[in-house]
Structure 1
Amino acid sequence: MDSQVSNGSGLDTEHITNLLVFGFLQNSKYHFHRELEVLGQELPVPVYLDADEDELQTDGSRASRSYHGRIQPDSESQEDVIQRIAHHLAQVGDELNHSIQPTLVRQLAAQFMNVSLSEEDRRNCLAKALDEVKTAFPRDMENEKAMLIMTLLLAKSVASHEPSLLRDVFRTTVNFINQNLFTSVRNLLRNGMD
């Protein structure tokens, strides 16, 4: 899918997916704080990083927000919606985390460590791993939304297992979502959060 395709509100596909994946990773329980901070500084999109990443306010908001990257003034409200959706998906993902087998995570991490694999090969590895966890999809959830959450959860699990893979896992996940699941992302944006 062309990364310049807009969803009609000013943000292109890649920008939206970068924000969603980064927001999911940031809002999940994870063990790659430093790597995520570095990734946030490298992304050409605004991301929200906390001074103290573990400190949430009682209303669920972050203690403080700092922006890295550029901000498009006319899209700030959509970026907030994306952050809210990412937070919601991370909460659901944390509840489903037990359904990802450690063996599958180790295998996927080993595949991502193989420097001879192309980006397409990595996406295929991610797709194969996703097929293996389909039986764990919540039955009461739309299939595409479940696939999106499990894709994000696989990315988080691999990065937690091997933090040095965060950048590669992030890029592959964004590309995979843009090619296979962006309709689901667009539907979540249209509905605000479901």
Structure 2
Amino acid sequence: MEQINGSVQMESALLYTFLEVSPDCQFREQLQSLQSQGLVSSLKGTYCYEDELELQTDGNRSGHLQNGELVFGREVDEEVIRNIAAQLAQIGDQFEKEIRAREVNDLVQHFLNENLSSEEMTRRMSNAVEALARAVPSDMEQEKAMLVLAMVLTKKIANTMPSLLQRVFSTTVNYISQQLHNYIIRMLRE
């Protein structure tokens, strides 16, 4: 699995921290291994507000190298990420009871299918989150509900089958990066 790049670094840090601070996380050992596999950089790293950067014709954002690492714009304090992740974990506890075992088991079966591409897995995760967002009554903004639901699904899938953590983590980071990146930037700025 390839190392994370600047475009998903915030999302990876936020999801990792969400899982780390969540109660009843039954896959702590596998979670710690994500850092050694390069899927999550240390929270001591640089996170950025990428929307201020120029989008290149290849779809990547411009940045520069500093100490061998790609750096984009202003740094986001790791404590801000921890605080947001803790708040989202509290909301996740409320949503968790709304997610039925069948929904989780369906996603587990998809994640077990190694023939499905990462794009197909991201699409299936997106479909599951959207269906849950419609079904779960909530007075919070849609984007926040979808972010929390994606993270809770990740936790529930990994609790069901810890060996899937790496694949579900990567898929969720891709989903969040594609669908909710701008929302995360707004949250970090508040």
- In the superposition, the TM-score normalised over structure 1's length comes to 0.75
Distance apart, 1:143 and its partner CA: 0.6
RMSD of aligned C-alpha atoms?
A: 2.1
1:25 aligns with 2:24: no
1:20–1:86 CA contact under 8 A, matched in 2: yes
1:45 aligns with 2:16: no
- C-alpha distance in 2 between matches for 1:47 and 1:126: 25
Runs of 4 or more consecutive aligned structure 1 residues displaced over 4 Å after TM superposition: none
1:129 aligns with 2:128: yes
Distance apart, 1:132 and its partner CA: 2.3
Distance apart, 1:160 and its partner CA: 0.8
- 2:108: which partner in 1? 109
- C-alpha distance in 2 between matches for 1:96 and 1:169: 19
**Alpha-carbon displacement from aligned partner over 1:112-168 (angstroms, at most 9, x marks no partner):** 010000000101110121122123444320111111111111111111111000000
1:188 aligns with 2:187: yes
1:17–1:174 CA contact under 8 A, matched in 2: yes
Alignment of 1:39-188 (within 5 A): 39-43=34-38, 45-47=41-43, 75=75, 78-188=77-187
The DSSP-based 3-state class of the residue aligned with 2:97 is: helix
Distance apart, 1:13 and its partner CA: 3.4
- 2:60: which partner in 1? none
Gaps in structure 1 of 5+ consecutive residues: 5-11, 49-69
2:133–2:142 CA contact under 8 A, matched in 1: no
1:34 aligns with 2:33: no
Distance apart, 1:173 and its partner CA: 0.5
Distance apart, 1:47 and its partner CA: 4.2
Q: Cα–Cα, structure 1 residues 101 and 123, in superposed 2: closer, same or farther, change >3 Å?
A: same
State the one-letter code of the partner of 1:40: Q
> Which range moved further: 77-86 or 29-38?
77-86
The DSSP-based 3-state class of the residue aligned with 2:41 is: coil
The DSSP-based 3-state class of the residue aligned with 1:92 is: helix
1:19–1:82 CA contact under 8 A, matched in 2: yes
- C-alpha distance in 2 between matches for 1:80 and 1:16: 13
Q: Cα–Cα, structure 1 residues 137 and 184, in superposed 2: closer, same or farther, change >3 Å?
A: farther
1:130–1:150 CA contact under 8 A, matched in 2: yes
- In the superposition, the TM-score normalised over structure 2's length comes to 0.76
Identity %: 34
1:137–1:147 CA contact under 8 A, matched in 2: no
